[in-house]
Structure 1
Amino acid sequence: MTFRLTLLPAREGDCLLVTYGPAGEHRMLVDGGRTGTWKDVKKKQLLEVGQGTRFEAIVVTHIDRDHIEGMLKLCADDDFRAEVGDFWFNAYKHLDGVASDDEIEEFGVAQGEQLSTALADRAWSWNARFGGKAIRIPDGDDPLETLVLAGCLRVTLLSPTRHGLRSLMGDWDKWLIEAGLKPEQGEPPDEPEVQEIESFGGGIPDLDSLCAQPEDNDDGVPNGSSIAFLLQYDGKTILCGADAHPDVLEQALRRMSYSETNPLRLHLMKVPHHGSGRNVTAGLLSVVDCTRFAISTNGSHHEHPDDVALARIVRSSDRLKTIYFNYDQPRLAGWKDETFMADNNFRCVFPQPADQGCLSIEI
């Protein structure tokens, strides 16, 4: 059986290809990276775009530019003629039922954002597995929803909450402008290729000092709307954290009866928010049993991953841990020190120089 997560060349963002099935015949695509990402992905020839190809689901987790811009390119690319089982994306129209009728009327200002228009043109099924409504977890202590895609991939939603979507709704126009999705703006411009990233630091980290730093959980509004989930296939489990808030992920897992004494066995964690210290918390790590962690970013914005997040991962258990990076960054030099890795029982895995941005992980 094949179960594989491929980190595609999304620069500082996410573009994830999930492949599963007896012969790897089923696919799921999660996010699209920045504007320039789509041509990079096509160049790598990791996505078959011709007629006859099928994606069981394509997901845009939230409206941050480093997750959504590449999807605009995909939707506009005439070469992309693949069949799409369902497209998962929370647009403004899906907030009906999350907010009151008065709120919908007050904030209904941007029905025509670019991705919504592109999806309408494509005529793909859109949030159909959720009844055409918002993709979110149930309120209170109600059980979390698990969907089964073709080929028996189980998908259990962990985020967002109703509160996360309502918060986004209140400043919808503002977030659309930041994401480059206002229709009058036109398509977001291509950005120049990121050149060599200047290294700040790169010395041997002090794990004790890093782990002693107080936590400051992410409270960003777009991140709080992130679609995050567990993927389960052939007895193995991946957590895809998007940019979700760590307390939301932790509480969702606790609703599933996981805890410090009964942690969820993960075969891979796609680390939330590119390894931000505000999204990788001791509380989240305490309710999972995981030794393999994947981080998608080239560090060109916000210098992710944060040292404190890596320190928390390294100290999360006494067992050997593997941290996968789809880009090698100069600032990670200290983390790659062979003696430091051996002394702290972890290892780092990077792509070959010619494959920067692309790394496949067999689950």
Structure 2
Amino acid sequence: MKCEIEFLPVGDASKAGDAIVIRYGEPYDYKLMLVDGGHAKTGEQIVAHLRRFFGPSPVLEHVVLTHADGDHASGLRTVFEQIPVRNLWMHALWLHAEEASPLFANKTTTIESLTRRIKGEYDIVSGVYDLAAEQGCAIRPAFAGSDIGPFRVLSPDLWTYLHLLPQFDKTPDPDQPAIERQGLWIGKSSPATRLFESVKASLQSWTTETWDRERLRDGGITSASNESSVVLYGSFDGGPVLLTGDAGNRGLGWAAEAAVRMGLPLQGFQMVQVPHHGSRRNSGPTMLNRILGPIQPQHGPTRFSAYVSAPADDSKHPRNIVLNAFTRRGGYVIATQGVSKVHWGGFPARPGYSAAGQVPFFDRVEEYT
């Protein structure tokens, strides 16, 4: 089976996001799939793209919402208003309120109240859910082991998701000791913390890096919502592909463990998605070695393609230090940065598309702080 994966350009300045159109099957017998919908205005771009290349009345066999962040969910509202969708795969946060209730700090809150609050705080996601239901679309939970067309969900599993949910920024306060006992404490980021990180990023300092001296570190921490991202593994002609959403080191670790349990090989990918728009908090050397393989000799042949969704003029994404890490391990790194980029995966190239250039190896990278 062939698999064409197109990363549409999403956002500008610091407004990164994801919208990935997938065609799988054969050139004259294929199905369409969409992973994430970017920002609100991305929805119209997705609809126009589908109609331009796949006929005036395209049908999406599957839509996957990897996690609850607005830069992945917002555009899906327009998609469901204008394009027929057969299956929606997502995490409907409020539907897990009862199962997760022991992991919230307030033990007196009713399930009904907790459900209403979570649904209200995540109105974009609940709006997508409601539109899908109105359309008659099948709505399914996207947890480890689920098969979505030719893809297998590696992460998260339901148990892990229930422990992450109270740690999302917009859910009620978590029961920290109960979550810590399971080794799944990540914590919430406060507005003050987010402001501090933003200011720190604006004061970014730089350093040099060589092929033999990697400055990317292990231990980067991203949000619980990011770690809940659906990680997808697909097996196709030419080798497997890995779509990571905004998963960080924890989520990628859970995905790697699941792949081993399921008998799905790592380190032989034809294409991988660079997590979270190339953020340095989402990738570390140890995890990259496990998933992609060890650092290769400099100037050696590329072993896989690595795609990163990032706006054209975002000073924080993608990070040079992350792109270098993928290049070292044999990646042919490609960044959207305002332009649609396609992994053809056996399908013929479309007229008007040209070969994507490789991101260079950078000798000047961000100081890891």
TM over 0.5: yes
Deviations 1:286-310, CA, capped at 9 Å, x for gaps:
1234521000111555621112211
- Aligned residue among 343, 352, 363 for 1:361: 343
Moved more, 233-242 or 61-70: 233-242
- Aligned residue among 56, 61, 68 for 2:61: 56
Moved more, 89-98 or 232-241: 89-98
- Aligned residue among 60, 71, 74 for 1:69: 74
Give the C-alpha shift of residue 214 in structure 1.
3.3
Q: Give, in whole Å, the separation in 1 of the partners of 2:159 and 2:53.
A: 33
Deviations 1:218-272, CA, capped at 9 Å, x for gaps:
33021122111112223621100000122321243134339xxx84311100111
Q: Give, in whole Å, the separation in 2 of the partners of 1:265 and 1:291.
A: 8
- Aligned residue among 244, 251, 257 for 2:247: 244
- State yes or no: 1:287 paired with 2:290: yes
- State yes or no: 1:41 paired with 2:46: yes
Partner of 2:86: 85
Partner of 2:155: 158
Q: Give, in whole Å, the separation in 1 of the partners of 2:254 and 2:163.
A: 19
Deviations 1:178-197, CA, capped at 9 Å, x for gaps:
xxxxxxxxxxxxxxxxxxxx
- Aligned residue among 305, 310, 316 for 1:297: 310
Structure 2 unaligned blocks of 5 or more: 173-201, 293-302, 346-369
Partner of 1:14: 18
Give the C-alpha shift of residue 70 in structure 1.
0.8
Which structure is richer in relative contact order (CA contacts within 8 A, separation 6 or more)?
2
In structure 2, relative to structure 1, the CA distance for the partners of 1:255 and 1:60 (3 Å cut) is closer
- Aligned residue among 332, 338, 342 for 1:322: 332
Give SS of 1:285's match. Answer: helix
Give the C-alpha shift of residue 146 in structure 1.
5.0
Give the C-alpha shift of residue 116 in structure 1.
2.6
Structure 1 unaligned blocks of 5 or more: 128-133, 138-144, 176-198, 328-355
Give SS of 2:75's match. Answer: helix
Q: Give, in whole Å, the separation in 1 of the partners of 2:343 and 2:64.
A: 20
Give the C-alpha shift of residue 323 in structure 1.
0.8
Give SS of 1:6's match. Answer: strand
Q: Give, in whole Å, the separation in 2 of the partners of 1:280 and 1:306.
A: 11
CA contact (8 A) 1:92 1:169 kept: no
Q: Give, in whole Å, the separation in 1 of the partners of 2:210 and 2:48.
A: 39
CA contact (8 A) 1:50 1:81 kept: no
CA contact (8 A) 1:160 1:228 kept: no
Give SS of 1:126's match. Answer: strand
Q: Give, in whole Å, the separation in 1 of the partners of 2:167 and 2:335.
A: 35
Partner of 1:274: 277
- State yes or no: 1:135 paired with 2:142: yes
Partner of 1:306: 319
Moved more, 220-229 or 157-166: 157-166
In structure 2, relative to structure 1, the CA distance for the partners of 1:117 and 1:85 (3 Å cut) is closer
In structure 2, relative to structure 1, the CA distance for the partners of 1:166 and 1:323 (3 Å cut) is same
CA contact (8 A) 1:254 1:287 kept: no
Q: Give, in whole Å, the separation in 2 of the partners of 1:55 and 1:222.
A: 26
Q: Give, in whole Å, the separation in 2 of the partners of 1:56 and 1:305.
A: 31
Q: Give, in whole Å, the separation in 1 of the partners of 2:73 and 2:148.
A: 25
Give the C-alpha shift of residue 274 in structure 1.
0.8
Q: Give, in whole Å, the separation in 1 of the partners of 2:72 and 2:95.
A: 19
Give the C-alpha shift of residue 57 in structure 1.
0.9
Q: Give, in whole Å, the separation in 1 of the partners of 2:209 and 2:339.
A: 28
Q: Which amino acid aligns with 1:156?
A: V
Give the C-alpha shift of residue 20 in structure 1.
1.2
Q: Give, in whole Å, the separation in 1 of the partners of 2:146 and 2:80.
A: 27
Output the aligned Cα RMSD. 3.3
- Aligned residue among 253, 257, 267 for 1:254: 257
- State yes or no: 1:32 paired with 2:33: no
Deviations 1:287-344, CA, capped at 9 Å, x for gaps:
234521000111555621112211211222xx4x3111112xxxxxxxxxxxxxxxxx
Give SS of 1:232's match. Answer: strand
Q: Which amino acid aligns with 2:80?
A: C
Q: Give, in whole Å, the separation in 2 of the partners of 1:97 and 1:46.
A: 44
Give the C-alpha shift of residue 280 in structure 1.
1.9
> Superposed, which structure 2 residues align to 1:187-198 within 5 Å?
none
Give the C-alpha shift of residue 65 in structure 1.
1.7
Q: Which amino acid aligns with 1:21?
A: G
**Between the two proteins, what is the percent identity of the paired residues?**
21
